[in-house]
Amino acid sequence: MFRCVTSDLIVLMLPVILFFWLMPLTWSFQALSPGCHLYPFNVTIRTDKRGTCRGTQVVYACVGYCESSAFPSRYSVSLASNFTHNITSASRCCTISKDAKVKVRLHCPRGRHNDDIEILTARACRCSMCHKSRY
């Protein structure tokens, strides 16, 4: 009987073991961890709709999530709002804490001059209070 229970347990655990064994090893720790992180993406800048002069640059954005909470309002807050503000929330958003300017070289066809344009990129991210004016 012990042998039958052991083999049934192995059959049930085999899909779970295979899943973890076959998971991609290329996933970075940062991608698997929760929170607010830098995320690279390519941006292309064009001088017009036809893309006469264009340039491409890798820049960074802040992506992810931050802990927020909601709790019952204090009695004084409820009383002051005539009991319409019963829940108080403390929200935190993933935002840029440090930025930098990067130059993008715009390449133009037929020997025309090449221009540089400066754009902003994130250098560090953090969780901070959410503000309506930012979003």
Question: Which CATH number do you get for residue 109?
Answer: 2.10.90.10
Q: How many domains does the chain have?
A: 1
pLDDT at res. 33: 58
Q: Which domain holds residue 87?
A: 2-134
pLDDT at res. 125: 96
pLDDT at res. 8: 54
Positive or negative torsion for Cα 121, 127, 129, 130: positive
Write down the pTM of the prediction. Answer: 0.60
Beta strand 69-72 with 87-90 is antiparallel
pLDDT at res. 9: 46
pLDDT at res. 38: 95
pLDDT at res. 124: 96
pLDDT at res. 134: 53
- Give the mean pLDDT per block of 10 residues along the chain (135 residues): 49 43 42 78 86 89 92 92 90 93 88 82 93 61
d(CA 135, CA 132): 6
